[in-house]
Amino acid sequence: MPVKATVRISLSIAVAGILFVCLMVWGGVSPRDALRTIHELPPSVYFVTLGMHLALYCLRALRFNMLIPRERRPNFKRALIVCSAHNMASYVLPAKTGEASYVVYMRMQCGVPSAMGLASLLVSRLLDGATLCCGLSAACLWLAHTGRYPSLSWLGNAGVSLIVLCLICSVLSVRGDLVVRLIAQVMRWLKLHRVRYGEGLLTKANQLALALRSAGGSGRLTAAALLTFPMWMLVFGFYSVLAQSMGLPDHFTYAEATFGASLAVMCNLLPVNGVAGVGTQELGWVTGFSDFLGVDRSLALSTGIGCHLVQLFNVVAVGVAAHLAMGVMPRLSYEREVAEAEQEEEAEPQQELPE
């Protein structure tokens, strides 16, 4: 492992540990309290949330497939396995370094070119950003409308600002290639294309721009966007069901759960998060539910840790199973898959037409 990567991961682990300890000391919650919260979780609630989690994986795999051209699109089983393995790598590895695993897994296991894999990943993340901003905006505007939190006078303005961010992410998901082409133009202006590595980088940038244009400029983007909304409804539903079963007030509605969980998700999406989002996710959770919505700090922290542990267990269990499946699954390139399909067609007995 390169020295820079080792230092980066070590610092991320240290930051995660320090932040997590500070949160527990500040919030007055011990590890025993967090484990007790998990132990008291009813099995029926866990299996309901597990079903939500598995449905989320299926929808995510379908969305990735939608953004890949049909002629290079893997079958659903392979896409689901790769998606599950990538989700564990992305969630567990610090500073979002695991995101790159999707491109590698899709190329190795499904024969999808790197540019197409990266384009589908980038467009998916932009759709996630747009939907997350849209959901949090709706929650802010609804809570401002109800007037239940008069101290949060900024909810209305925050809701409007989030709509603007939602539109920006939506536009980039459609024409993200323009950003790549702008970067490539700057590189040409700096004469980097005359350098050996610069020429290769410009070639890859052009391939990525074409892949982004293909993913964002067709009806496939509409289908992917329609899949993104139920995905995030499952995400917020997962947190809402778990948090209320772990002790959040019964009067909390789906809007409050969405508001508090959104801040936790946003903190976990930061590229400076620790291993498995430890510390950063809890910080966002406590900020949303305790500092803004008035939940007791120790209760907010214990429920945040409990939800995080359940989520982490599901992600690791499914991710390990997916990595094992990839280990026994043959690595077929696109050309080999086409050749085998043609051989199967030629091997089928041809029926003679009646005279």
**Residues 231-235: contacts with CB within 8 Å, 24+ apart?**
231/56, 231/59, 231/60, 231/63, 231/131, 232/128, 232/131, 232/132, 232/135, 234/52, 234/53, 234/55, 234/56, 234/59, 235/56, 235/261, 235/265
Question: How confident is the model at residue 350, as a pLDDT?
Answer: 47
Cβ(65)–Cβ(74) below 8 Å: yes
Question: How confident is the model at residue 347, as a pLDDT?
Answer: 56
- Return the amino acid letter for 161: S
**Structure-block tokens of residue 239:** 């947190």
Would residue 345 count as lying in a domain? no
Would residue 322 count as lying in a domain? yes
pLDDT bracket for residue 354 (50, 70, 90): very low
**Structure-block tokens of residue 272:** 């400076």
Would residue 337 count as lying in a domain? no
Among 57-61, 94-98, 200-204, the range of highest mean pLDDT: 57-61
Residue 73 lies in domain: 3-330
Among 81-90, 195-204, 228-237, the range of highest mean pLDDT: 228-237
Distance (Å, whole) CA 123 – CA 225 = 10
Question: How confident is the model at residue 341, as a pLDDT?
Answer: 52
Question: How confident is the model at residue 156, as a pLDDT?
Answer: 94
Would residue 339 count as lying in a domain? no
Instruction: Give Rg (Cα) of the chain.
Output: 23
Q: Does the pLDDT value for residue 107 go beyond 60?
A: yes
Domain count across the chain: 1
- Tens of pLDDT, residue by residue over 37-55, are 667 788 899 999 999 999 9
User: 251 φ, ψ to 5°?
Assistant: -80, -5
Q: What is the mean pLDDT of residues 53-80?
A: 92
- Tens of pLDDT, residue by residue over 176-199, are 888 888 887 887 787 776 777 776
Would residue 314 count as lying in a domain? yes
| Cα distances (angstroms) measured from residue 102 to each of 79, 81, 308, 325, 354 | 10, 11, 23, 15, 51
Q: What percent of the chain has pLDDT over 90?
A: 35
Would residue 338 count as lying in a domain? no
- Tens of pLDDT, residue by residue over 71-88, are 888 899 999 999 998 988
Would residue 169 count as lying in a domain? yes
Q: Average pLDDT of the chain? A: 81
Cβ(178)–Cβ(205) below 8 Å: no
Question: How confident is the model at residue 90, as a pLDDT?
Answer: 83
Q: What is the mean pLDDT of residues 241-249?
A: 88
- Return the amino acid letter for 90: S
**Structure-block tokens of residue 46:** 């866990």
Among 13-17, 74-78, 88-92, 136-140, the range of highest mean pLDDT: 136-140
Would residue 117 count as lying in a domain? yes
In sequence order, what are the residues at sequence separation of 6 or more whose Cβ sits closer than 8 angstroms to the Cβ of residue 339? none
pLDDT bracket for residue 312 (50, 70, 90): confident
**Structure-block tokens of residue 49:** 């949330």
**Structure-block tokens of residue 251:** 């009067």
Q: What is the mean pLDDT of residues 292-310?
A: 88
> Cα 167–173–176 angle (5° rounding)?
115
